[in-house]
Amino acid sequence: MTDRLPHEKGFHVSWDQIHRDARALAWRLDGLGPDGEAGEQGGGWRAVVAITRGGMAPAMIVARELDIRTVDTISVKSYDHQAQSEAHVLKSPDAKMMGDGTGILIIDDLVDSGKTLELVRALYPNAHFATVYAKPSGRQQVDTFVTEVSQDTWIFFPWDMAMQYVPPYRGQD
Ligand SMILES: O=P(O)(O)OC[C@H]1O[C@H](OP(=O)(O)OP(=O)(O)O)[C@H](O)[C@@H]1O
Ligand code: HPA
Ligand SMILES: [Mg+2]
């Protein structure tokens, strides 16, 4: 619930908005890969790797936009609800495909403290790291992102929300 948040502000993202923002991310990434120019197959990238679970929806949209068919996942857990704990890898992507990360696009929904990306970057130092949203503390960990929000903002994604009744502004006491 919003009134129990440790953060001052809430940024509520709809499916439509994450779709638009993930598309904008794809367009920024087109041609940045080591193997290509903008408009070439896969935008120059060999594969997309989603950081589960939050990175899966943006990674699917980026892979679709850039026509990348090779998609894998890395599973990193760093939060229990809104409480941060030690980040650790639960499942790794295909080691042969990954190499040192060259030509691999690693996607997450957001970077907050940067701990998740720091862990993954240590494993694949030559990969390109992209998120849809970024907070200032983790911004250095991400190579490409779309929108920055303040550190005291909690981002609510559509997969964590549901439509519900809201009382009128001029309510009854
Ligand atoms: O920059 P950081 O402070 O590390 O935080 C960002 C990470 O935290 C969230 O994932 P979470 O670990 O909650 O798992 P989930 O994607 O499965 O929800 C989010 O999806 C990012 O992956
Ligand atoms: O602002 C956030 N929103 C959702 N998940 C998160 N994980 C870390 N920060 C956030
Ligand atoms: Mg995540």
Looking up residue 44, the CATH number of its domain turns out to be 3.40.50.2020
72 included as an active-site residue: no
Q: What pLDDT, in 10s, does the model give residues 88-98?
A: 899 999 999 99
Q: Which of 142, 119, 146 is nearest to 132 (CA)?
A: 146
39 in a known ligand binding site: no
**Amino acid 3: pLDDT:** 52
Asked whether 29 and 62 are in contact (CB, 8 A), the reply is: yes
The answer to whether residue 2 is domain-embedded is no
Write down the pTM of the prediction: 0.91
The answer to whether residue 92 is domain-embedded is yes
Domain span at residue 56 reads 9-160
For the CA of 141, the nearest atom of ligand 1: 1
The finding on whether 27 has its CB within 6 A of some atom of ligand 2 is no
The domain tally of the chain equals 1
Residue numbers in the chain where pLDDT is lower than 50: 1-2
Q: What pLDDT, in 10s, does the model give residues 125-146?
A: 999 999 999 999 999 999 999 9
Q: What is the ipTM of this complex?
A: 0.99
The answer to whether residue 169 is domain-embedded is no
116 in a known ligand binding site: yes
Q: Which of 41, 21, 23, 22 is nearest to 31 (CA)?
A: 41
Asked whether 118 and 143 are in contact (CB, 8 A), the reply is: no
- From the candidates 112, 152, 160, 173, which is the catalytic residue? 112
